[in-house]
């Protein structure tokens, strides 16, 4: 009788131990999965911050650079050059404002609720503005040039700000790499 009780206790212990080990294994797998999700989320956050700092730095550099040129040049700049630099400052200010708004509205981006303003845009003028915005980063061995047969009256319907962001990113990355 004592042997039967011992066998029964060992069987019960073995069953309970096996069950507890399955529960622990399942919880460990859930913890591992949650940890992996946290690590992926942190990586996405880091990438997002790196991208946003690049996005913000580009128009800020243009604003500061063109402002310094205007302030330091005194009477050396023609009215047309001053007007062009001021337009670049204004344009980059608008771009920076849009980027900041996009960061604030990141939740809308995730929900595909972001609004894009479509307007008539002259691609040639947009390219010229993007080039002038990125020109302060130009290196001697990487000149920025525009060759087109488009006229200023040729327009397309698009998001001026979004296309400007893309063009500036292409230009700054081309210069950098």
8-50: pLDDT as tens digits: 989 999 999 999 999 999 999 999 999 999 999 899 888 888 8
At 157, give phi and psi (nearest 5°).
-90, 120
- Give pLDDT, residue 174: 84
Average pLDDT over the chain reads: 86
Better pLDDT: 39 or 113: 39
Q: The tokens of 111 are what? A: 């929900």
161: how many CB neighbours lie within 10 A of its CB?
20
- Maximal CA-CA distance, the chain: 111
Higher per-residue pLDDT: 100 or 35:
35
∠ CA 19-23-27, rounded to 5°: 170
Q: Please give the Cα distance from 97 to 169 (Å, whole number).
A: 16
pTM of the model: 0.48
Taking only the tens place, the pLDDT of each residue in 47-62 is: 888 888 888 888 898 8
């Amino acid at each position: 009788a004592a042997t039967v009780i011992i066998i029964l206790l060992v069987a019960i212990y073995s069953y309970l131990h096996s069950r507890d080990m399955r529960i622990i294994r399942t919880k460990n797998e859930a913890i591992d999965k949650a940890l992996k999700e946290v690590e992926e989320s942190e990586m996405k956050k880091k990438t997002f911050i790196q991208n946003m700092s690049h996005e913000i730095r580009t128009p800020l550099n243009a604003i500061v650079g063109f402002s310094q040129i205007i302030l330091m040049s005194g009477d050396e700049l023609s009215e047309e050059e001053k007007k062009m630099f001021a337009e670049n400052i204004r344009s980059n200010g608008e771009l920076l404002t849009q980027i900041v708004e996009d960061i604030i509205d990141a939740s809308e981006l995730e929900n595909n609720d972001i609004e894009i303003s479509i307007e008539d845009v002259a691609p040639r003028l947009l390219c010229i503005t993007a080039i002038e915005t990125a020109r302060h980063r130009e290196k001697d061995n990487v000149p920025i040039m525009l060759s087109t047969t488009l006229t200023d009256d040729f327009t397309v319907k698009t998001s001026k700000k979004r296309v400007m962001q893309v063009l500036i990113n292409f230009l700054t990355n081309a210069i950098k790499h």
